[in-house]
């Protein structure tokens, strides 16, 4: 009965292909989820504009790497720098005034930011869709009957490097320590002389830079760059929730798991099943473990 939905196959090379595609897609979800979780964990804000942040990154990549035709590394540097400035702008211009306000008021503000970004991109870039980026090496190689694209491999490597960098930053730098302290207890952190305002600003900047990386990567694998790619934000949401909204490591694993599951649903059941299956996984995880696979309630003995 269920077989009627799609073409199940036990062919190992097909499944390997789906796995590889899933991991590449999952790596992008992971990088989106990472930025999302970073903001949620540090500032308690459910940022519904994160998909738009990523779209901003993709459009800026168009500007600096294609239109301005900057050297690749210089272009990436400028891109990330501009994203950082935008992150600071989001904090000092908007979010800072919202500290202490109700959770949903702030969620609505992020929806407002999303709308503004979409409008600005329409004004400055126009409605026409652009070709996807092609700055990373094209081509592919074969493994066990499956095709591995260089782009996917690079995406995977870049995401892994970002994750490692994040881990080292949080574990070994003073600012990283202060960010974790604010995430644990903002009032206690403020009482110790840590400035939550600065920590929040750095969080938004870091999330925006991550979105810049995500936009640059996603710009290479999306069909075309237009204002519909913000949907990646919504698609990465199950990844963040499955991993646990408070766990940076969990968001990575969540991203990979959801990416692979989506690809298998896509390959075996058909494209229309991608999102329903991804969200079903999210529901199941939430039913069994409300804090996500790796999310945790604070360790606290009372």
Partner 1 sequence: MSSDGLDLRIEDLTVVYGGVTALDNVNITVPPGGFVTVLGANGAGKTTLVRSITSLLYLHKGRVRRGDITLGGESILGKKSPDIVKAGVAQVPEGRKLFPNLTVKENLLCGAASRSDVDAIDDSLEQNLELFPQLRPLLNQTAGLLSGGEQQMVAVGRALMSDPALLICDELSLGLAPKIVHRLFELLTEINERRGTSILVIEQNASLALQHAADAYVLELGRVLIEGTADELRGNPMVQELYLGGGGEAHTSYAAIERPSRRPEAHGRRPPVSES
User: Which residues would be at the binding site for partner 1 (CB under 8 A)?
Assistant: 100, 177-178, 180-181, 184-195, 298-302
d(CA 248, CA 166): 9
Question: Smallest distance from the beta carbon of 185 to partner 1, in angstroms?
Answer: 6
User: By C-beta, is 186 or 257 nearer to partner 1?
Assistant: 186
Question: Smallest distance from the beta carbon of 199 to partner 1, in angstroms?
Answer: 10
Q: Residue 100: what are its φ and ψ, rounded to 5°?
A: 95, -10
User: By C-beta, is 134 or 185 nearer to partner 1?
Assistant: 185
Question: Smallest distance from the beta carbon of 35 to partner 1, in angstroms?
Answer: 20
User: By C-beta, is 246 or 266 nearer to partner 1?
Assistant: 246
User: By C-beta, is 149 or 178 nearer to partner 1?
Assistant: 178
Question: Smallest distance from the beta carbon of 42 to partner 1, in angstroms?
Answer: 13
Question: Smallest distance from the beta carbon of 188 to partner 1, in angstroms?
Answer: 4
User: By C-beta, is 127 or 193 nearer to partner 1?
Assistant: 193
């Amino acid at each position: 009965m269920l077989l009627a939905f799609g073409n199940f196959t036990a062919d190992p090379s097909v499944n390997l292909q789906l796995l590889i595609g899933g991991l590449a897609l999952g790596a992008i979800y992971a990088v989106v989820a990472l930025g999302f979780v970073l903001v949620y964990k540090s500032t308690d804000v459910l940022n519904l504009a994160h998909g738009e942040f990523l779209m901003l990154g993709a459009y800026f990549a168009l500007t600096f790497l294609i239109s301005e035709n900057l050297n690749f590394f210089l272009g990436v540097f400028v891109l990330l720098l501009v994203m950082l400035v935008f992150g600071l702008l989001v904090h000092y211009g908007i979010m800072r005034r919202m500290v202490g306000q109700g959770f949903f008021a702030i969620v609505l503000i992020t929806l407002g930011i999303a709308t503004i970004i979409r409008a600005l991109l329409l004004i400055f870039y126009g409605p026409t869709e652009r070709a996807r980026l092609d700055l990373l090496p094209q081509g592919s190689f074969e493994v066990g009957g499956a095709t591995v694209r260089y782009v996917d491999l690079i995406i995977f490597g870049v995401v892994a490097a970002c994750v490692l960098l994040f881990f080292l930053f949080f574990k070994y730098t003073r600012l990283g320590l202060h960010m974790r302290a604010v995430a644990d207890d903002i009032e206690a952190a403020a009482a110790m002389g840590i400035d939550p305002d600065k920590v929040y600003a750095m969080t938004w900047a870091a999330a925006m830079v991550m979105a810049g990386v995500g936009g640059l990567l996603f710009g290479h694998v999306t069909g075309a760059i237009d204002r519909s790619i913000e949907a990646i934000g919504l698609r990465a949401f199950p990844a963040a929730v499955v991993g646990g909204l408070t766990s940076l490591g969990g968001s990575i694993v969540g991203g990979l798991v959801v990416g692979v599951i989506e690809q298998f649903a896509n390959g075996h059941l058909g494209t229309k099943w991608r999102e329903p299956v991804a969200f079903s996984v999210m529901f199941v995880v939430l039913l069994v473990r409300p804090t996500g696979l790796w999310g945790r309630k604070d360790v606290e003995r009372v």
